[in-house]
Amino acid sequence: MLSTLETRRNTGQQEPRPWKARATAELASARSRMLRMLEGLPEDALTRQHSPLMSPIIWDVAHVANQEEQWLLRALGAPALTDSSFDALYDAFRHPRASRSQLPLLPPARAFAYAARVREASLEWMRHLPEDSDAPLLRGGFVFGMVAQHEQQHLETLAATLQLMTSHVYRPATLPRPRTALTARHEVFIPGGPVRLGSDTPWAYDNERPAHTVDVPPFFLDAHPVTHGDFAVFVESGGYDDARWWDPRGFEWIQAQGIQHPLFWEPQENGTWLRRRFGWWEPIPRDEPVQHVCWYEAEAYARWAGKRLPTEAEWEKAAAGSDGQPRVYPWGDAAPGAGHANLGGDTWGPSPIGSYPAGQSADGVWGLLGDVWEWTSSTFDGYAGFRSFPYREYSEVFFGTEYRVLRGGAWASAPVAVRNSFRNWDYPIRRQLFAGFRCARDAR
């Protein structure tokens, strides 16, 4: 019996180039995850506005499909399936999240059917595209990587929406999270010197480009993210009532909002804490990274602890390793596997610190990718030489001092959308994110 490769040779069929095979797999992975996440949700749960911070779930479903239609079909010369009025309906800039439930959205059955129709057409059109095009959208399969990452990023957003639901109880089937013995909690010294920031790899976003080198002074970085147990000490010592630890804007905000602890925590009469996680109330796992804290909360804790938040250059220096070797991930260039980090969404929560020894950086920093996004002290801006591509609304319109950068990815992030150079950003008051942090301090 002929092998697949021999069959292709005999029929003149070309062996697929890596980007096509990867794009097909990543698009399939994203769609499979979407269907798993939303299977069994009643129509009301799909169409309701669960929080003014989030879209109705079904808006996201049609939005990712519409983005795919725009970029994998129309932008590449394929016939359109819808028109510009449909694009406007699912335009994230035209319609703020809080207003999207008032739009004439596709009902669930039609939204899922539209997404399936677009995917079928995209994969069929991909077969006709040149394998080695130098066109900017197709070089290395960039536009397919962009769409796959975009869909996975929206699935992380959907996970946050499901956590915020109060009108329905969402209890996902979860994979077990490891419960290993705790490793020693300590700081790691990161020697000063040059670090290559950013990436020029084919699927990197415009805000990661151009790759460039900067010099970072020596510093100390926590070997692990701050845990629930660590953060509970700050809460119980009155940290939310002491203005000394807070950025004045942050203290004014938490006072106005009556915030006394991380989102989804509830104090108990016996002095313990419970948290709500996807329909369950459970004791806070003291050995897991704290999540659902905003930048102001992270920065206040760091100051209370006598430390600070790392800059994003320091974070990437720690992820790349002080030996100067370029690495896509803290452990090297191998794609994330189950032993490297808690990614992909199926655990539905962080793992205890020290769970993934294979994911350590060259300097012995743990958990830099996965579990929780990590707030940095940096505001979001373009690197020197930045060029918007393929559209300004992905990155450039957010540049400025309003947003803080997060690094590393969370348990809900897909492996395709995490790497040492990946940059996330949000307002410093956002707490629905699966975000935590680790602390740094100067070495001199």
Q: pLDDT-based confidence at 440, cuts 50/70/90? A: very high
48: Cα separation from own chain's centroid: 24
pLDDT, tens digit (0-9, with 9 covering 90-100), for 428-437: 999 999 999 9
Average pLDDT over residues 160-189: 77
User: What is the sign of the dihedral through the CA atoms of 8, 71, 100 and 431?
Assistant: positive
* CB 287, CB 182: distance < 8 Å: yes
> Going by C-beta distance under 8 Å and a sequence separation of 6 or more, which residues neighbour residue 431?
262, 263, 292, 293, 294, 297
What does each C-alpha distance from 255 to 250, 252, 259, 403, 407 come to in angstroms? 8, 5, 7, 21, 28
pLDDT digits (tens, 9 = 90+) for 29-81: 999 999 999 999 999 999 999 999 999 999 999 999 999 999 999 999 999 99
- How many angstroms separate the CA atoms of 417 and 149, rounded? 6
Can you list the domains of the chain with their CATH numbers?
16-164 (1.20.120.450), 187-228+262-442 (3.90.1580.10)
Angle at 166 between CA 165 and CA 168, to 5 degrees: 80
Q: How far apart, in whole angstroms, are the C-alpha atoms of residue 438 and residue 436?
A: 7
Strands of 400-407's sheet, edge to edge?
424-426, 400-407, 373-380, 435-436
Alpha-carbon distance of 139 to 203, in angstroms, equals 9
Q: What is the largest CA-CA distance in the chain?
A: 75
pLDDT at position 4 over 80: no
pLDDT of amino acid 13: 37
Buried b (16+ CB within 10 A) or exposed e, 84-121: eebbebbeeeebebeebbeeebbebeebbebbeebbeb
The phi-psi region of residue 40 (left if phi > 0; otherwise alpha if psi is between -120 and 50; otherwise beta) is: left
State how far the Cα of 172 lies from the Cα of 158, in Å rounded to an integer: 13
Q: What is the pLDDT of residues 374-395, one digit of tens each?
A: 999 999 999 999 999 999 999 9
Closest CA to 412 of 350, 352, 322, 355: 350
CB neighbourhood size of 280 (10 A): 13
Half-sphere exposure in the Cβ direction for 347 (13 Å, CA): 23
What's the average model confidence in pLDDT over 295-320? 98
pLDDT at 15 over 70: no
Q: Scanning the structure block, which residue is given the tokens 């980090």?
A: 341
- Provide the whole-model pTM: 0.93
Q: What is the DSSP letter of 69?
A: I
pLDDT value at 170 more than 90:
no
Residue 6 clears pLDDT 90, i.e. is over it = no
Pairing of strands 265-267, 187-190: unpaired
The band of 17, judged by pLDDT with boundaries at 50, 70 and 90, is low
The structure tokens 């199926």 sit at: 346
Query: What is the average pLDDT value for the chain, to the nearest integer?
Result: 93
Give the span between the Cα atoms of 69 and 90, in whole angstroms.
12
Angle (CA) 73-414-125 rounded to 5° is: 15
pLDDT digits (tens, 9 = 90+) for 209-246: 999 999 999 999 999 999 999 999 999 999 999 999 99
